[in-house]
Structure 1
Amino acid sequence: MKEFLEWSIGRLNQAGVDSPRMEAEVLFSGALRVGREEIFLRPERVLTEPEKNLLRSFVERRVLREPVAYILRSKEFWSLNFTITPDVLIPRPETEVLVETLLSQNLKKPSELSFRLLDIGTGSGVIAVVAAQEIHNCQVTATDYFPSVLAVAKLNSERHGVSDRVHFVKSNVFSHLSKALYDCIVSNPPYLKTSNLNDLVPDVIDFEPWSALDGGSDGLGFYKQIIPKALNYLKKGGFIILEIGETQANAVTSLFHSTGHYEKINIVQDYSGYDRVVFARKKTNAYG
């Protein structure tokens, strides 16, 4: 196994893949279904021909810049493994900041009352699943426009034992959503400018769904829909948490202020110090 691993590292390095050793180890771990530590503990292990063929396939796919998450059909988020397909955006660590912001709120309610959460554009379902697991008595409505995306999210809800707490709805933002009031609305919407998409690395632009990346000409298209319309779906005093691009804080907070119906509008930075999440609360005297 050691020699095959060294070949894989060299192949990835030759192709200009960042962190070739780490990526080779991850591919080996996924292909052989073993922990990365076993790669070091059993370097003498003899690989079977089917194992070698699978590993060659994985390495060559990565050489062509296919993301590891799509090759392995798996990605870790919040210390949980989620099924990932090319239909969905690969979860990023930055989105955990949105989850942390959600969980940092005082979410305690009387035991007989559920906490109602709306997740717009659920993608792989990572936010919905973690919320259903972490928040007591949480009931999630998770939306997405594409049935293939909802199928992945539903699979992840079943995989993590929360399918009875997450209800999936095919909807373009609020278009096919039944009128109801929620304690909180969350979303990680597409926020890249259309003109910037071609500047992305091949790993992203050639493989991840454009629909999950393209935020329109100014990158704000979805925020312009979500922020005003969310007032019709939020309880008074309910809150909304949105992931944003690192340069969008001023523009997005301005959209909140322009409605006149939100308060406590705050920005949360990610661990690299970039603006990553906007939080706001619906005023108790707001309409709806």
Structure 2
Amino acid sequence: MQGREEGELELAQKKAEVLTEALPWINKMRGKTVVVKYGGSAMEDPKLMVQVLGDIELLKLMGMRVVLVHGGGKAISAMLTRLNMPVQFKNGLRVTDDDTMEAVQEVLIGKVNQQLVWALNEYGHNAVGISGADGKTLKAVPVSPELGRVGHIREVSPELIETILDDDYIPVIASVACGPDGFFNVNADEAASAVAEALHADKLIYLTDVDGLFADVNDKGSLIRSLTKAETKDILASGELAGGMVPKVRSIVEAMDRGVSEVVILNGKSPHSLLLEIFTDAGVGTLFTQE
């Protein structure tokens, strides 16, 4: 009995140490705006999704203004496969004809967005789901004829997002934008970057399937812990990046060019990576800073 009590006391002391370390970070981040881009396996796995959304709810309870921007690439590809429609990418962006755009809307707005809203609302009446087309929040123009209805965000009208935040809800935003002749599929990384800039966010966080940016993608020990904006631009210009990391890093540079102070790439599959990044001294993932 005594041993068990001593073990419980030791565990309680460790928990107290964690809270003590987190306290200055909680004070620092209270009232701050944090934009979280959510995607990848952490969103596809139900258990991981519950954990991540629980962490996001905790950020809100700690006094942060949290905005969740999501994609749903794997779910879209699965839907297209079921419909016997082609799945094509160019330069990390999905080729989107009119029929594919309809599938994108159905998956992102009708399925993924509502799943995330429902899961967040299991913790209380906390989340409101919208797409970038609601209130003309995200306005886009076509990227190129060969990509079809893939848009580049030219303007963000943050009024609807700010209203939701002021009413003490978490906005959950699907990466669909409005354009000159209808809806456009926009890269969720770019959408999160543009939203963070429009809200003058204090922190932009990308939850992905990787631990961060690696100097050598084949060497898991080469994780880059931090980069300045200038160093990030050099990496982007080097041509060494490939696939979906290209638009992601490009959106990071754009966010910092627009005044976002800090951007982080985190592995959403790692337990509580979001909390470790914000509430601990060490942090995790790759941190991008202005200087």
Query: Do both proteins adopt the same fold according to a TM-score greater than 0.5, normalized to the shorter chain?
Result: no
- Larger Rg, first or second structure (1 or 2): 1
User: More relative contact order in 1 or in 2 (CA 8 Å, sep 6+)?
Assistant: 2
Taking structure 1 as the reference length, the TM-score comes to 0.31
